[in-house]
Copies of this chain bind each other. A is one copy, B any other.
Amino acid sequence: MEQSQIPKRTKLGQNVVIEEGVQIGENVTIGHNTVILKGTIIGDHVIIGSNCVLGVKKSGNQKMRTSDVKHPHLTIGNNTKIGNNVTIYAGSKIADHVFVADHASIRENSMIDSQTVIGRGAIVELNTSIGKRCTVQTLAYITGDTILEDDVFIGPCVSMSNDKYMGKKPYELKGAYIKKGAKIGNNATLLPNITIGENAIVGAGSVVTKDVPANATVVGVPAKTIK
């Protein structure tokens, strides 16, 4: 792998580790003890906190599925900010003006579009697409194979799943499909393969067991339409 390209004016903290083949844009700040793994591509004006690990290669044991990555490297767009103690995998693409808060983790084959916020301690699993200007709040869990269109709001501690049979039998894993402008209240539970329509609202603590129509508001266990 080729040598890393690190502009002289890059502001590097202490004990920063930069592996081979890393490309860093103009005016980038990298915090103390942060690790940038092989081949990671970082845009201009990016600010990264301390103790992060960026460009992690996928791993697992024999009980876990693997997924081929479409892009071999991690790419981070211009003006994006990454907090502290964050892990992001190779094979994902973070666009411009994104904010990834402390303790968040983003796996491979995830695409996070511009101006989106990934909250503190939030986890984004593999094969996920998140649109522009979304908010994924603190400790929310975006399961694998999930699609969030633009302007979606995922409240704190929202939980999703993508495996109807919980590992009991083979099943094409499918997370939620959440359409433009939908809002999911804090600690709501989404079952696998649910579609939430445009501008729909899911109340806090609801358990969503079937599709929600556009513009509907649903609440309760199981969630029912109230208007």
Contacts and interface: CB of A to CB of B under 8 A. Distances in A.
Interface of A: 13-15, 17, 31-33, 35, 47, 49-51, 53, 56, 59-64, 81, 83-85, 87, 97-99, 102-103, 105, 107, 115-117, 120-121, 123, 125, 133, 135, 138-139, 141, 143, 153, 155-157, 159-161, 166-168, 183, 185-187, 189, 191, 201, 204-205, 207, 209, 220-221
Contact of A53 (B61, B64, B85, B185): B85
A59 B35 contact: no
Contact of A117 (B15, B64, B161, B191): B64
Given A103-B103, A156-B161, A221-B205, A63 B135 contact: yes
Contact of A221 (B62, B116, B160, B220): B220
Contacts of A191: 204
Contact of A99 (B31, B33, B61, B186): B61
A138 B156 contact: no
Given A61-B115, A98-B61, A138-B125, A185 B161 contact: yes
A89 to B, nearest CB: 9
Q: Is the interface of A mostly helix, strand, loop or mixed?
A: loop
A189 B125 CA distance: 22
A53 B50 contact: yes
A99 B64 CA distance: 9
A77 to B, nearest CB: 12
Contact of A62 (B61, B97, B155, B209): B97
Given A103-B87, A123-B139, A138-B123, A50 B63 contact: no
A112 to B, nearest CB: 12
Contact of A51 (B85, B167, B205): B85
B204 A204 contact: no
B141 A139 contact: yes
Contacts of A61: 81, 97-99, 115, 117
Contact of A141 (B33, B35, B157): B157
A97 B157 CA distance: 29
Pick the most buried of A135, A139, A191: most chain B CB atoms within 10 A of its CB. A139
Contact of A123 (B35, B85, B120): B120
